[in-house]
Structure 1
Amino acid sequence: MLKFLKNILGNNKKENKDYEYIASPLEGKVVSITEVPDPVFSQKMMGDGFAVIPSKGIVVSPIDGVVASIFPTKHAIGLKGKNGREIIIHVGVETVNLNGEGFELFVNEGQVVKIGDRLLNIDIDRIKDKVPSVITPVIVSNLGDGETLIVEKMGNVALGEEGVAFIKINKN
């Protein structure tokens, strides 16, 4: 499949205007969004995406864009990409109940970010026994009609690893 994707995408993914790429915001293991133990995410009620089971507590921007929103309890950050795509990084399940405990922000709303810029630190050891899961959904909340999110890489990923997923932009 990887060879097929390279053929249709070309060797330089960043130059292809029919696709928008999403990097991994965490180091860990990429799994299907359907594996998140919360139906809001697993049933794609907020949008399509993937999830990362984090091995380290550093969260970086998976896209070039702007910090559109930060939940007051610091467990979720919304980003808006250059093409208007909205990406939500929601750390863990039921982490809203921690009221910010175990989270350290490095950005502010309205701040411009690039892929790999640090957004947040999570003290995984401090929070893991206080929530059902630290699995982190990465959601595209506003896919357009006919647009498709394709997760290109499952399994272990590095922090900020590019090409984990992409949005196929169908032009009519």
Structure 2
Amino acid sequence: MFHSWKKMLGKGSEKEREQILAPMEGRTVPLSEVNDPAFSQGILGKGIAIIPEKGRVAAPADGVVTVLFETKHAVSITTDSGAEIIVHVGLDTVNLKGDYYTAHKKQGDRVKAGELLLEFDIEAIKEAGYEVITPVLICNAQDFPDMLCHTGIHVKELDPVIEL
């Protein structure tokens, strides 16, 4: 109802923010809580981290898989609007050399939000001595100065977590 009023009053013309969706179910936390300076200090980009409850990564937006690491621990998507997103499952998990990860897409694939990108075994990764906290970063955050990040909440896969 209020949306209709805004349109009638001429205030409905603001550009809608692009939403980056949760690639997994879990609890969102600020990057400052990630035990790795490359993430916690925003060196690789700005965003959130998710403590995953299920071992799946879905595409957080429509776009193209621009990088899928051989070790399958991280994937990068460039959205249709140009946002560069990295989903990095765990800390130092590159050292697992792909163990406990399965990729369902490959570099260059066009994806829609919600398509399955990766699966991973949370318990096996923890048993191997690695944290599974998953940074979700916008690498070109300087292009989105009004970016909003939603932390401190429980999210289901595909709930909005970042607004550009």
CA RMSD of the aligned region, Å?
2.0
Number of aligned positions between the proteins: 155
Unaligned runs of 5+ in 2: 7-12
Deviations 1:58-108 (A, max 9, x none): 110111101001111100101000111100000000100000000000001
Letter in structure 2 aligned against 1:96? V
**Contact 1:50–1:137 (CA<8 Å) still a contact in 2?**
yes
Instruction: State the match for 1:32 in structure 2.
Output: 30
Secondary structure class of the residue paired with 2:67: strand
Query: Offset at 1:146?
Result: 6.0
Instruction: State the match for 1:164 in structure 2.
Output: 161
Matches within 5 A, 1:10-49: 17-49=15-47
Deviations 1:20-57 (A, max 9, x none): 21100011111111111100000000010100000000
One of 61, 64, 86 as aligned partner of 2:62: 64
**Runs of 4+, deviation exceeding 3 Å:** 15-18
Letter in structure 2 aligned against 1:148? D
Query: Offset at 1:115?
Result: 1.0
Q: Give the 3 Å change call, closer, same or farther, for CA 145–28 of structure 1 in structure 2.
A: closer
Larger Rg: 2
Instruction: State the match for 1:124 in structure 2.
Output: 122
**Contact 2:150–2:161 (CA<8 Å) still a contact in 1?**
yes
CA distance in structure 2 between the aligned counterparts of 1:125 and 1:45, rounded to whole angstroms: 28
**Contact 2:90–2:132 (CA<8 Å) still a contact in 1?**
yes
**Contact 1:51–1:137 (CA<8 Å) still a contact in 2?**
yes
**Contact 2:85–2:137 (CA<8 Å) still a contact in 1?**
yes
One of 75, 78, 81 as aligned partner of 1:77: 75
CA distance in structure 2 between the aligned counterparts of 1:114 and 1:28, rounded to whole angstroms: 21
CA distance in structure 2 between the aligned counterparts of 1:110 and 1:146, rounded to whole angstroms: 24
User: What's the TM-score, normalizing by structure 2?
Assistant: 0.88
